[in-house]
A and B are shown apart, each in its own frame.
Chain A
Amino acid sequence: MTWDDFVLAFFSWQIVSEAWPILWDGLQRTILMSIMVVPLGFIGGTILALLSTVHNPWIRWPAAVWTDVFRALPPLVLLIFLYAGVPFTGLEISAWGAVAIGFFLNTGSYYGEILRAGIESVPRGQQEAARSTGLTRWQTMQYIVLPQAFRNVLPDLISNTLEVVKLTSIASVVALPELLFQARQAQSVTYNATPIVAAAVIYFILLWPMVRVLSRLENKALASRR
């Protein structure tokens, strides 16, 4: 294989321009999906984290087990279970529906674990001080604990969000036409690897800034722990 053949097979402008409409279509869907699943997971996570602070063990323990179970289950398994398994009961779930539920369960558990650690990182004295000024339990959570908790685990939250956006690529397995799926389509039509390379480049351009920011934040967090 000559260099020219190589360029033609992996970095062909011709192919990129032909496949661009379908790639763009997929990219939009990837972005839309991210905008949908990140808040969904975040809401799920906040609920789980709050449940983990409840004193009643009948609430706290199921929340903990739930979190660990969905952290132990690979997200792709969950997604395929919802998409390919559940319809056997007669209950049809669309690819979007499966993604929404699957990410809510999986991502929610990850956000939940991070936020729980954040809440625990706020010294007890903060809560006691707030309660002693007459704030209710919920007000203390809302104004004192949660803001500090968010700040303490901000790098982890961003890191998880990055992972969630990357994870949307598994939706291609259940035929949701997002970026990777469309790239695969284009690749099989053109018999050329360029569309997949293009998808990789798009992901990289999209997510690199986030990786850089994270790297900075993580190093800072580390320096302060010395």
Chain B
Amino acid sequence: MTNWERFVDSFFNARVAVEYFPKIVEGFWLTIVLAACIIVTGLAAGLLLAVVRAFAIRPLNLLIIFVVDLFRALPPLVIIALLYFGLPAAGLSMDGFVCAWIALAAVLMAFSEEIFWAGITAVPKGQWEAARSTGLGFLQTLGYVVLPQALRMTIPPLTNRTIAITKGTALASVVAVPDILGAANAGVSFSFNPTPLTMGAAAYLVLFLPVVIFGRWVETRFAWKR
């Protein structure tokens, strides 16, 4: 075999590709489901923490800041390992999918809380005062006046951060989740041919390339200004 033939036979082997295509597709959907779970819970938790922080209850806020710092400082894979390999020592065994979900949602929660909070503090004080002077309560002011303005400001950084963290779903393969990468890895070891990895990489590009381009568009469309 020439080098070129060998290369094609390794990475673009049609027989292997056909055989493992269904597995990769299953992994593709699993990756999407995992990503959706992470995005919904992570962003909701982040927003909730930011709103709680607005109440300015000092001990609570210090706790929030600590939790946020913690999940910004820890590598996601370390958190996943802690949940998946560590927690069973406490008699708590969780599925790899759940571990990856919780870990990455916690990371997204931390980053999004920072961003939401930054957005809330960026809304001028006069907005609070105007609303309060008309008799709106604290939560009403937050909900109707401050958050709508804050959310708009936070769209670009939030989009980019969400995309970055969502790509971390590939880490789930480390804890035996048959997502795209997990399915590709399994395919490689069964077929002894790296073509499933090529397909896996292609699947990630199909999934994330539009998202990355969308993030770029959002960046210019909603640039930080009021």
Residue in A6, A68, A85, A206 whose CB lies within 8 Å of B11 = A85
What size tier do the contact residues of chain B reach? Answer: 35 or more
**Chain A nearest CB: distance from B164 CB in Å?**
8
Residue among B76, B81, B168, B200 facing the most chain A CB atoms (10 A cut-off): B81
B89 contacts A193, C-beta separation under 8 Å: yes
Q: Are B73 and A226 in touch, CB under 8 angstroms?
A: no
Q: Is A196 an interface position by the 8 A CB rule?
A: yes
Interface size on A, residues (CB 8 A): 58
Q: A10-B86, A193-B87, A196-B85 are in contact. Are A77 and B204 (CB under 8 A)?
A: yes
Check if B57 is an interface residue, CB within 8 A of chain A. no
Please determine whether B188 and A203 come into contact, CB atoms closer than 8 angstroms: no
B73–A77 CB distance below 8 A: no
> Min CB distance, A22 to chain B, in Å?
16
Question: In the docked arrangement, what's the CA distance between A74 and B87, Å?
Answer: 26
Chain B 94-121 interface mask (CB, 8 Å, partner A; 1/0): 0000000000000000000010001001
Contact, CB under 8 Å: A85 / B85: no
- Which of these binds chain B: A41-49, A131-139, A143-151, A167-175? A167-175
Given contacts A74-B204, A204-B74, A208-B69, contact A89 B90 (CB under 8 A): no
Does the CB pair A74–B121 fall under 8 Å? Answer: no
Closest to A196 in B: B86
Interface segment, B17-25, B129-137, B138-146, B205-213?
B205-213
A192 interface hit (Cβ, 8 Å): yes
Q: Total A-B pairs in contact (CB under 8 Å)?
A: 155
Contact A85 B122 (CB under 8 A): no
Given known A-B contacts A71-B212, A196-B85, A80 and B197 have beta carbons under 8 A apart: yes
Distance to closest chain B CB from A64 (angstroms): 9
Q: Are A1 and B90 in contact (CB under 8 A)?
A: yes
Question: Which residues of chain B come closer than 8 Å to A168, judged between CB atoms?
Answer: 75
Dominant secondary structure of chain A at its interface with chain B: helix
A74 touches B90 (CB 8 A): no
Q: Which residues of B contact A80 (CB under 8 A)?
A: 181, 185, 197
A187 at the interface (CB under 8 A from B): yes
Asked if residues B81 and A180 are in contact (CB atoms below 8 Å), the reply is yes
Q: Is the CB of A10 within 8 A of B78?
A: no
* In contact, B174 and A193 (Cβ under 8 angstroms): no
- Contacts of B78 on A, CB cut-off 8 Å? 169, 180, 196, 199-200, 203
**Extra 7 A-B pairs, beta carbons < 8 Å, given A163-B164, A204-B73:** A6-B90, A74-B167, A162-B72, A172-B77, A203-B75, A208-B69, A218-B118
